[in-house]
Structure 1
Amino acid sequence: MKTTLLMVATCVLVQPVAAAELRVTNIQVVHRNGQTFVVWKDVAEGDAGAGYRYSLYRSERPITEDNLAVLRPVIRQLLNNSGKHYGYHMFLERRIDTSFPTATIEPNKKSLPPWSGLAVRTVEKDGDRYYAVVAFDAEGRRVAKIVPGQSATKRPVVEKVAPIQPLKTGDSTLRGRYAKVVQVTGRKNLPLMVTLHASSARGGPGADHGDYYQFWGRPEWGYRDGLPWQFTVDERRVYNSDGRYLSLRSRETLAAPGGNGTKETYWFGYYCVPQWAAHQEPRAYNFTERRMQWLIDWVKNKYYVDPERVYAEGGSMGAWGTATYALRHPELFAAIYPNRPRTIQRGLPTLVKIPLGSHVVMSDGKTDFYERMNMVRFVADHHEDLPFLGWCCGRHDGFASFNEQIEMVKALTAGHHGFAFAWNNGTHSTGAVPMREIKRWYPPEQFARNQSYPAFGNSSIDGVLGTGEVDISDGQRTRRVLKDDNGALEGGINLGFVWKDIVDKNGTWSVTLRNELAKKEMTVDVTPRRCQQFKPRHGETTTWINTFGGSGTVTADKWGLVTVTRVKIKPDEETILTLKKR
């Protein structure tokens, strides 16, 4: 962001109008579903209007030149032609190109005319309000007077607090070449897969198929109120099955506040001082996570999703978000599948410069951002049922270290969580391939939040992970290197298991197990997870037996977990493991 723009963003006093006066015209206001949409005609079109920025004012009285100075803008630094459709508003070249569409703000209405400005204010209190729009040049000088009926409303808009509602502007039965394949049928209680996209710094409006929605964010979802967003919902067939599921795809990329570029959020958020904040120092806000929580909940209700069968997946940057966002929400996700994640996030998107050595805190002003984004530590600190985690990564990923993958395996194993990991000797591109092994043995449809399953650990047929990267110095610089003789070049953890016939009762838990990769007798630790009825108390003793003659007792740990170690499984044979409370 340019320095001049930052100066304008923090300015409160309204400056006198510049000598060469321009005009904001044709102001119109629409209120629906808890938000007020203010539309106007910019002071200039095309290249001539590219450098102007706009502020939105709101008052209980009509806004005039006489009282403007005592008001604070509710939204600042709105770009030229800000009524452009999401994805086409990010780069100046597209924003001033009239061949790209503008936004639609009302049901069954046309999109906005070219060179429209758009500001969206989320209502926090019922009442009658007036609005005005003020234009500034690149130096922060005001260039247009308040003209009632042109740049300021003459009549108040009646505002009411209400849940915001996305606006559907495209139907899955009509959109794109895949319409017949992915159209939403209206079936109820389908699973939902939330897909987080990889890096998308080039902008664009999103998928060309599925039900298409536009919506504008609440203040707590961004550095300012009313940021534009979109998402799509379509319906797909489960691979190699007659089953169906819904797919939700949204975008995390926003227009850079400077007006010509994008800002990716890593599916987290970013470091900034929001326009609405009371504090003056930057903080790390999980804006994207907050917005996704609302969006998933809205889609679940709108499309009658089975709330017990919600999953998440993503590749590359989408894997980062799947690991750092979805994993921390067991109340929502049954299973998640990050493809090449960072399990310890080291990057922080930012709208402002971060001084070297700064202590970066979250929005509460206390929590350390980097500690919060260390998912290895999160797993170690959380012993409750987390979403099943199935992931993959190449040993030479480049964006994520193999060491952090190893540490995640260790933490999940120690916590007796449900997980599987597969790897190859690939880079960030080719490291995606092992995900097919994860979904072969642990497909999403195998998991539901209200169904118990066996979590595996310390399988005797696990691949050799090695110890990860080591520091190598050539005398001038030190590099982190992963040698080919340090662990297997490809392999997996907890692969090959198949289970059925779960019994989950108050006094008994049992499962029928086999492993299709076992070449000889093998062993594995088994922990009942996500139990609905079988809930031993801390210190309670449970007996166990399996069909190959093994038996013994196990005591529930302080989290109420019971783990039977070294359960025997023979090749091509099933074993039934049964646990009973004494």
Structure 2
Amino acid sequence: MTRFTRLLALPLLLIGAYSSAATSSTTSNASAEPVLNRISYTSQADQKERDFFVYLPEGYATQPDKEWPVMLFLHGNGERGNGKEDLGYVLIHGPLYEAWIQKKDLPFIIVSPQLHMFGMDKRGISYIDNRSPSQIPQRLEQGTPPRAPYFATPQPMTGVPSQVDMSLIPPLLPEGWDKVEEDLLHILDTVQNNFRTDKSRLYLTGMSYGGFGTWWFASQHPTLFAAIAPVVGWGHPSYIAPIAKHQIPVWQFAGGRDHTVPIQYFYPGLNRLEQLGHTHVRFTTHEDMGHDAWRRVYGSDDFYQWLLSHRR
């Protein structure tokens, strides 16, 4: 049985029991302030209880007749965890960081699950092994914390080859988000059934591993999303046909100095979209940035305005 709990201020503190009635009605003293909820579920991947975040934007509680757009965010490899005491790591980057930590006024219900480790913590990956709860950002009562600096030493630009050898494109899935497909569908159903959502405006975005996951999940469920925005994660050509068939608007982002996810891998999938007649494709390369181009993307305004311009 799915269990609901509410997080009101601190990202790792559970207090009280969640009631769907609390979000479907307002009282005279309802606050217009945003709220960060923490909801429990049982993962189909390992039959263990985990939590995910649901951010309710400013004005949600005081506008009982409004239906809100929903953004599903898939984090990168470094933010994996057990979905409990590790859940705060998903606050480090992305739209939830912007909305909850930096207090950016984003008019979305933001859904942010945490991907299982699936053995990544056994592989000697430094940015997983060396991370610490002290890195989890905290929302301040007054003001906002300083932003972390961009990657200190940008990689040299490599240029884009005119031809890409398809045989050199890495294997299909990035070992992760595909293993929790049923969890993601359950999480979306939970949010749409228990909060006031606009089902015609469900958006999907993710960074790095979550960018790969964005392409993959959209290809498996192309009728769900009004638009997708994969950030520094390419789409394999084998994912493309369902996305093109359903004409899902796509805004792909890359970093020109990114040596983690080389830019030449982005073109085969994007070109395949155009070959299949997809007419709603944008590709933006931040030439001066490396793999952390996501910081600029999610910190901008035009990114969110573009999402909101689309309905399913």
TM-score in terms of structure 1 length: 0.31
2:103 is aligned with 1:254: no
Bigger radius of gyration among the two = 1
Task: Provide the rounded CA distance (Å) in 1 between the counterparts of 2:292 and 2:120.
Answer: 35
Deviation per CA, 1:377-413, whole angstroms, max 9, x where unpaired? 3324664224211011023422323222222332222
Write out aligned runs for 1:296-445 (5 A).
296-343=188-235, 374=236, 376-380=237-241, 383-414=244-275, 415-426=277-288, 428-432=290-294, 435=297, 439=302, 443-445=306-308
Task: Provide the rounded CA distance (Å) in 1 between the counterparts of 2:300 and 2:283.
Answer: 9
295 and 389 in structure 1: CA distance in 2 versus 1, 3 angstrom threshold: same
Q: Are the equivalent residues in 1 in contact too, given 2:76–2:206 (CA < 8 A)?
A: yes
Q: Are the equivalent residues in 2 in contact too, given 1:192–1:310 (CA < 8 A)?
A: yes
Q: Which runs of 5+ in 2 are unaligned?
A: 13-30, 36-55, 129-172
For residue 313 of structure 1, report the CA deviation from its aligned partner. 1.4
383 and 420 in structure 1: CA distance in 2 versus 1, 3 angstrom threshold: closer
Q: Are the equivalent residues in 1 in contact too, given 2:232–2:253 (CA < 8 A)?
A: yes
Q: What is aligned with 1:189?
A: 67
> AA paired with 2:75?
H
Task: Provide the rounded CA distance (Å) in 1 between the counterparts of 2:113 and 2:211.
Answer: 14
Write out aligned runs for 1:160-309 (5 A).
165=2, 167-172=3-8, 174-175=9-10, 181-183=33-35, 184=56, 185-186=60-61, 187=64, 188-200=66-78, 203=81, 204-207=85-88, 244-254=107-117, 256=119, 286-309=178-201
Q: What is aligned with 1:353?
A: none
For residue 209 of structure 1, report the CA deviation from its aligned partner. 11
The secondary structure found in structure 2 opposite 1:341 is coil
Task: Provide the rounded CA distance (Å) in 2 between the counterparts of 1:338 and 1:383.
Answer: 15
181 and 206 in structure 1: CA distance in 2 versus 1, 3 angstrom threshold: farther
269 and 302 in structure 1: CA distance in 2 versus 1, 3 angstrom threshold: farther
Q: Are the equivalent residues in 2 in contact too, given 1:182–1:209 (CA < 8 A)?
A: no
More strand by share: 1
Deviation per CA, 1:442-487, whole angstroms, max 9, x where unpaired? 62110110xxxxxxxxxxxxxxxxxxxxxxxxxxxxxxxxxxxxxx
Aligned residues: 214
> AA paired with 1:205?
D
380 and 287 in structure 1: CA distance in 2 versus 1, 3 angstrom threshold: closer
Q: What is aligned with 2:137?
A: none
TM-score in terms of structure 2 length: 0.54
> AA paired with 2:188?
I
Q: Report % sequence identity.
A: 19
More helix by share: 2
> AA paired with 1:385?
H
Task: Provide the rounded CA distance (Å) in 1 between the counterparts of 2:305 and 2:245.
Answer: 20
Task: Provide the rounded CA distance (Å) in 1 between the counterparts of 2:243 and 2:111.
Answer: 28
The secondary structure found in structure 2 opposite 1:307 is strand
For residue 245 of structure 1, report the CA deviation from its aligned partner. 1.8
Write out aligned runs for 1:79-98 (5 A).
none
Task: Provide the rounded CA distance (Å) in 2 between the counterparts of 1:409 and 1:257.
Answer: 29
Task: Provide the rounded CA distance (Å) in 1 between the counterparts of 2:77 and 2:195.
Answer: 28
Task: Provide the rounded CA distance (Å) in 1 between the counterparts of 2:10 and 2:262.
Answer: 40
> AA paired with 2:231?
N
